Structure 1
C-alpha cells in the first residue's frame, strides 16, 4: 500500500515560482499605475491601467518565453531553463502547451506580438487621458476573448483529451482561474468602453422630432 511519502506532490517549487511570478507582475503593474496616473484618477482608469500593464507583462515575459521554447523545432517539454520548467508545470494541466501544438503556438504569436503591443499603446493613451483608448480597448478585449475561445473550444468539442482536471491546482487554478480572468475582465472593459462611446455619440447626435 502506498504511503504519504509515495504520493507525488502536486504543489511543487515550480508551482510556487510560477504563481509567485504572476503575483510579482501584478505588483509591478500596480506600482506603475501609481507612477503614470494622477493620484485623483478614477478607479476605473486605475483598474484598467493595472490590468493592461499586467496583461502586457504576461504576454511579453511568460507567453513570450513559451513562443521562444515552442518554435523552430523546439518544444517546452525539452527545455531546461526556468521558464521551460514553468511551462512544463502548466502543460501538466493542458498537455498541448508542452508539445508545440500548432493552434496554441499560432494563437500565442498573435497574443505576444499583437495584444502585447496593443496593451502598451492603450497604456500610453490612458496615461495621456486620450478618449480614443475606448475603441482600442474593445478591439483588444474582443481579441482576448476570441483567443480564449479558440484555446478551449476545440478541446471541449473533442472531449478534452489534453486537459488534466484530476486535482484542484490543475483544474481550478491553472485551467480555470488563469484563463477566466481573460474573459471576465475583457467583458467588463468592453462594457465600460461601450458606455463611454455610446454616451459621447448620443450627446452629439441631433434630436429627432416626433412626427
Structure 2
C-alpha cells in the first residue's frame, strides 16, 4: 500500500490530540442517550436506526461543518512568489492564487482537530476541491436529512401515533433512509476512490494509529452501517409489497 510522500510525525498522545479524539468520540454517547430517551426499548431496531442517524447527523453538522468553515474562512495570505505546501497550482480554491485555505491555517479547537486528522489524510488540511464539494452536500443535505430521519423514527415508534399516521411516517422514513444510505456509500467511494487509483499519495498508512483509527475506524462505519440500513429497508419494502399483494388477492376474491 502506498503512502503519503510528505513527512508526517508519528502519532503522539499529547493533550491536544487526546482532546481532539475525545471531541470526535463524544458524539457516540450523545447519540446513544438520545436514542434511549426517545425510542422505546421494545423497538430495538428503530433504536439502533435512531442511534446511527443521530450520530451521523452530529458528525456531519458539528464535525464536518467545521471543516467547511475553515476551508472558506481560514487562510494564509501568500506573498508574491510564495508557495504553500497544500496549494499545488491552478485551479485555485475560490480562484484565489494569493491565498492558501483550509484547517491547516486555522486556529482553535476545531482547526486543531482537523490538523490531527490531516496527519492521516492530508487532503483535510487544505481546501481540496473534490473534498469540499462532497462536504458541502454532506453537511447541508446529509446532516439535515439525518435529523429529519430521527424525527420520523420518533413518530413511527411512538405508541401515541395513530396507525394511519405511522404508515405515512414509515413511508417517508424508508425512502429517506435508502436515499441517505446510498449517498453515504457514494460519498465514501468518491472520497477514497481517487486515492486508491492514484497510489494513496495523500494517505499516511505506516503509522498503525493513523491507519486503523483515523482512516479505517472513522470511515468504515459509513460503509457497513449504510449497507445494514439498505438491508433492513429492503426487508421492509419486500414485506410491504407482499402484504399489498395479499390484500389485493383477497379483494379480488371478494369481488368474484
Of stretches 72-81 and 116-125 in structure 1, the one that deviates more from structure 2 is 72-81
CA contact (8 A) 1:33 1:46 kept: yes
Aligned counterpart for 1:131 among listed residues 158, 167, 170: 170
Q: Distance in 1 between matches of 2:215 and 2:13?
A: 15
CA RMSD of aligned residues (A): 1.5
| SS in structure 1 at match of 2:26 | helix
CA deviations on 1:59-98 (whole Å, 9 max, x unpaired) are: 1111000000012563111011110000000011100111
Equivalent residues in 2 for 1:96-135, closer than 5 Å: 96-129=123-156, 130-132=169-171, 133-135=173-175
Residues 1:26 and 2:28 are matched in the alignment: yes
Shift in Å, 1:43? 1.3
Q: Which residue of 2 aligns with 1:145?
A: 185
Asked if 1:204 corresponds to 2:250, the answer is: no
Structure 1: segments with no counterpart, 5+ residues: 1-6
Partner residue, 1:12: 14
Q: CA deviation at 1:9?
A: 4.9
Q: Name the TM-score, length of structure 2 as normaliser.
A: 0.75
* Offset at residue 99 of structure 1 (A): 1.2
Deviations, residues 115-164 of structure 1 (Å, cap 9, x unaligned): 00000111111000021211110100000010000000001101111101
Q: Deviations over 1:87-116 (max 9, x none)?
A: 000011100111110000100000000100
Q: Could you tell me whether the CA contact under 8 Å between 2:11 and 2:207 is conserved in 1?
A: no
Greater Rg over alpha carbons, structure: 2
Q: Which one is further off, 145-154 or 198-207? A: 198-207
Question: How many residues in Structure 1 have an aligned counterpart in Structure 2?
Answer: 200
Q: Is the 8 A contact 1:164 1:170 kept in 2?
A: yes
Gaps in structure 2 of 5+ consecutive residues: 1-8, 76-100, 157-168, 250-256
> 2 CA distance for matches of 1:57 and 1:93?
22
Could you say if the C-alpha distance between residues 139 and 8 of structure 1 is closer, same or farther in structure 2, counting changes exceeding 3 Å?
closer
Structure 1 CA distance for aligned equivalents of residues 10 and 203 of structure 2: 19
Superposed displacement of residue 8, structure 1: 5.5
More helix by share: 1
Query: Equivalent residues in 2 for 1:88-103 (5 A)?
Result: 88-103=115-130
Distance 1:93 1:8 in 2: 10
- Is 1:61 matched up with 2:62? yes
Report what 1:4 is aligned to. Answer: none
